[in-house]
Amino acid sequence: MKRFIWLGLCCMPLLVKAQQELAPKEVARAVDSAAALIKRHYVFADKGAAIATHLKTQYKAGAFNHLPGWKAFDSIGTAILHQFSQDGHLYMRYSPERVKGIRAQREESGGTDDFFHSPEAREHNYGFREVKILKGDTGYIKLDQINISTESLPVLQAAMAFVHRTKALIIDLRDNGGGGSEIDLVFEGCFLPAGLTLLESYGGNGPGEVDHTVAVDSAYRYNGPLYVLINKRTASAAEAFAYVMQAHHRARIIGQASAGAANHNEFYAVNDQVFISVSVMAAVLPGTRDNWELKGVQPDVVTAPGEEMNHLQ
């Protein structure tokens, strides 16, 4: 059967090309849409304009010619955006279903965010992959995403209650690509005083959110020695946690420099097939312009990959 199909394709190359290749007008509209969204929403107006111009310049140079589908469009577009901007939050993705969700969320007032409340989030246990007590009475929590919401709060509370009385605690954020919190900084509030300003956000339209820790019941607070494990795949909201714990001298950060993705992003529909992630705000320490964008969180103890657990003292 495979041989028959292969022969058939060889005999009809023009037909297959006509069926698969994106129409040039559709590609042009998608590039124009993506460029306009970047220019309108990017956190730094001058850089956003430069990125948008570069994307259109690459289109005119033929970078998007003869594409076999929208997946190829998102791959090429993302490569162009990353190479020019060095911004890990700026990318395109082919996902018609996600586009529908993005549009529906913008149209519906009071709609819930799929990231926090989807069946996938529940099946994934909101990122809490492992909670245990190691030898020496050391607690261990493995998180592969940050997903803090009213729905996930009981999971966070159960994890913190389990390790509450341990002599030390490890928060393992290796390979954690980020996420966010829908209900203020509850996770950080498990380790820091309530009402503490941790991060400020600003963008093209001026100051944005100010992130404070919230009061957490003593049953879920942890006051003992804290270790946070990171690596080059620790990104975004996971980096933010490590960054503020380090800035407030609350935790010892162990591992390798993190990904360096500090900007806040939002999703926008490019067309019916593709959406774009655009950095819209930059998170910084209060009263500064300091963050971990591009440079990453720098560990207090640098280790080889996989050796982090051997350097807890």
Domains and CATH numbers, the chain: 22-111+262-282 (3.30.750), 124-260+295-310 (3.90.226.10)
How is residue 150 annotated by DSSP? T
Angle, helix 45-60 to helix 24-41, in steps of 10 degrees: 170
Q: Residue 112's pLDDT band (boundaries 50, 70, 90)?
A: low
Amino acid at 130: E
Residues 180-231 have pLDDT tens digits of: 999 889 999 999 999 999 999 887 666 678 899 999 999 999 999 999 999 9
Q: What percent of the chain has pLDDT over 70?
A: 90
Residue that is written with structure tokens 């059967």 in the block: 1
Residue that is written with structure tokens 């990171």 in the block: 230
Q: CA 261 to CA 77: how far, in whole Å?
A: 19
Q: Which of 6-10, 36-40, 122-126, 178-182 has the lowest mean pLDDT?
A: 6-10
Residue 298 — φ and ψ, nearest 5°? -95, 120
* Vertex 165: Cα angle to 164 and 166 (nearest 5): 100
Give SS3 for 285: coil
- The structure's pTM equals 0.78
Residues 70-95 have pLDDT tens digits of: 999 999 999 999 999 999 899 999 99
Give SS3 for 4: helix
Q: Flag whether pLDDT at 49 surpasses 90.
A: yes
Higher pLDDT, 109 or 309: 309
Residues 135-167 have pLDDT tens digits of: 999 999 999 999 999 999 999 999 999 999 999
Residue pair 30/192 in contact by the 8 Å Cβ criterion? no
